[in-house]
Amino acid sequence: MAAQDVLGQTARLASSSALLQVLFRVITFGLNAFTLRYLSRELIGVVNVRLTLLYSTVVFLAREAFRRACLSGSAKRNWAKTINLLWLTVPLGVFWSLILGLVWLHLLEVPDPSVVPHYQAGVVAFGLSAIIELLGEPFWVLAQVHLFVRLKVIAESLSVVSKCILTVTLVILYPHWGLYIFSLAQLLYVSVLVMCYVIYFVVFLGSPEATKKSFPVARVKALLPSFVEDETFVNLKEARLTWSFFKQSFLKQILTEGERYVMTFLNVLNFGDQGVYDIVNNLGSLVARFIFSPIEESFYVFFAKVLERGKTVKDQKQDDVAMAANVLELLLKLVLLIGFTITVFGYAYSQLALDIYGGSMLSSGTGPDLLRCYSLYVLFLAVNGVTECFTFALMCKEEVDRYNFVMLALSFIFLCISYFLTHWYGSVGFILANCFNMGIRIAHSTHYIYHYFRESTHRPLTGLLPSPALLLVYIISAVVTAFSEPLNMWQRKVLPVQGAGNKNMLCLLCGSFFTKGPSWF
């Protein structure tokens, strides 16, 4: 496939994923606002921090290394061996689910059953959901490598919508079920997701469309593990690369979910404070999740397909190098622009956003400070996502192994800084530690990119240098918005009260809706 075609399909995949994430975040945004009116902060904290951490840890450790290794290289390969390698994620997921499930049940603090009922069932359900999701890994990688955009959109849309409908229904009808609600919703989510991929490939394989596209897998049976005499079970090159990424995955997971590990294992915050932190964290990461994450995921595939892993810039096709450098520069400019915008306006209107979203429970206390710090953190996330997606797509096995030592030192430093900053600044310390973590990772990635393009005429890192005029605009915007936020908060809190005194029912209803939510919500 020509580089231009790959770029076009990658752009469609990234834009579709971004739109999909917008839909998901809007749904989740409304769902969180809804559950805040029905369920306790402690229950939300256990679900969104403790149980979600179990699920994400199992899934990440079991599949991340396999994805990075198997998404690299050409679509024309021995897919039987690649599929065999991908199926190893399932027993690995079972292993991690059992080990971590025992830790979550017996070594961590168990929530009060009167406040958070059915904790044990929740641990089992979230561990099982991780294993079910891993059953679809060979299908997901095949779809991603061949850029099946529509399949991903439909599968993830159906799964998220199904999960939200079930959650809302059970919260309204059976709020006393506690963690049963979220356990059933999580199991439904992964089941629908996997079934969509399985059904698609059952219908697609052997069809005229598959034959026309010369799809490398001809039968559904070929998607199952298979043994061939006198041949290795897996591609040894991919297996070695997977092992390198696997050693790195432990460290990356600590850096990605570090604050949740500190909260879970060191008990620096109670379950209620964990719930507030997670709500603010989800609100602050909206842009990162529905824009930056699809860009990173999609353009990792682009760079891995256009440039060959482990080769210097002189050994690559120069047309492909020019295109990759240009795309990288434009991506850096794009995410930097988005990051600055979120930082400037998010910092100014944090309290107003939390007051609209969750009322005084979120807008008072540490909530606004958390969201202000997160607005700055978004800028770090923006740059790190793009620089790392290029770096990991081009690193050879030896470079990945060397980077593992960097990650090991960084993980230890990050956990120490998180622990001490949390004791000094409370939950705000987590975000400050994450900013430090992302800054170090950005420095490493930009250093790699600089040395990679040093022997060429391309300088994609210039995308990180905004123009003076743009910086001036953002400075002026920051000053104006900083003075306007107190006025907005005064209007929200004072005018509805005056309106009520004057029997102005419209102001009263609007103020009640935005600060407390309607009575049926």
Closest by CA position to 427, among listed 278, 286, 289, 285:
278
Is residue 331 a contact partner of residue 463, using CB atoms and an 8 Å limit? yes
Q: What's the CA gap between 447 and 453, in Å, rounded?
A: 10
Q: What's the CA gap between 328 and 350, in Å, rounded?
A: 31
Q: What's the CA gap between 403 and 488, in Å, rounded?
A: 48
Q: What's the CA gap between 182 and 421, in Å, rounded?
A: 32
Q: At residue 151, what is the residue type?
A: L
Q: What's the CA gap between 289 and 465, in Å, rounded?
A: 24
Q: What's the CA gap between 192 and 132, in Å, rounded?
A: 10
Helix (H, G, I), strand (E, B) or coil at 59: helix
Closest by CA position to 137, among listed 82, 204, 97:
82
A 10 A CB-CB count for 180 gives 16
Is residue 328 a contact partner of residue 368, using CB atoms and an 8 Å limit? no
Structure tokens at 317: 């096709």
Closest by CA position to 291, among listed 69, 21, 13, 66:
21
Q: What's the CA gap between 323 and 254, in Å, rounded?
A: 34
Q: What's the CA gap between 180 and 177, in Å, rounded?
A: 5
Tokens 């099946």 -> residue:
148
97-134 in b/e form (b: 16+ CB < 10 A) is: beebbeebeeeeeebeeeebbbbeebbebbbbbbbbbb
Task: Indicate the Cα dihedral angle 92, 97, 100, 101, nearest 10°.
Answer: -160
Distances (CA, A) of 188 to 38, 55, 59, 181: 22, 14, 16, 11
251-277 in b/e form (b: 16+ CB < 10 A) is: bbbbbbbbbbbbbbeeebbebebbbbb
Helical packing angle, 149-173 and 137-145, nearest 10°: 140
- Helix (H) or strand (E) run with residue 100 in it: helix 89-106
pLDDT at 503: 39
Q: What's the CA gap between 333 and 257, in Å, rounded?
A: 27
Structure tokens at 266: 């060191």
A 10 A CB-CB count for 173 gives 10
Write the burial class of residue 457 (CB in 10 Å: 0-12 exposed, 13-18 middle, 19+ buried).
Answer: exposed
Structure tokens at 202: 């059952």
A 10 A CB-CB count for 379 gives 21
Structure tokens at 385: 């996502």
Q: What's the CA gap between 109 and 264, in Å, rounded?
A: 8
DSSP 281-348: HHHHTHHIIIIIHHHHHHHHHHHHHHS-TT--GGGS-HHHHHHHHHHHHHHHHHHHHHHHHHHHHHHH
Q: What's the CA gap between 62 and 89, in Å, rounded?
A: 5
Distances (CA, A) of 260 to 212, 275, 515: 48, 11, 29
Q: At residue 67, what is the residue type?
A: R
Write the burial class of residue 40 (CB in 10 Å: 0-12 exposed, 13-18 middle, 19+ buried).
Answer: middle
Is residue 331 a contact partner of residue 349, using CB atoms and an 8 Å limit? no
Q: Any idea where the domains of the chain sit in the sequence?
A: 39-247, 477-516
Residue by residue, pLDDT tens for the chain (521 residues) are: 556 666 666 666 566 666 666 666 666 667 666 776 677 777 888 888 889 989 999 999 999 888 888 876 655 677 888 888 999 999 999 999 999 999 999 988 888 888 888 899 999 999 999 999 999 999 998 888 887 777 887 888 889 889 988 988 898 888 888 899 999 999 999 999 999 999 998 888 878 887 777 788 878 888 888 877 667 778 788 888 888 888 777 777 776 676 777 777 776 677 777 777 777 777 777 666 667 777 887 788 788 888 888 788 888 888 888 888 999 999 999 989 988 998 888 888 877 777 776 666 666 667 788 888 888 888 898 899 899 888 888 888 788 778 877 777 877 787 788 878 877 877 788 888 888 888 988 998 999 999 988 888 888 899 888 889 999 998 998 888 877 766 555 455 544 444 444 434 333 333 333 333 332 22
Q: What is the DSSP code (8-state) at residue 222?
A: G
pLDDT at 510: 35
CA angle 80, 81, 82 (to 5 degrees): 95
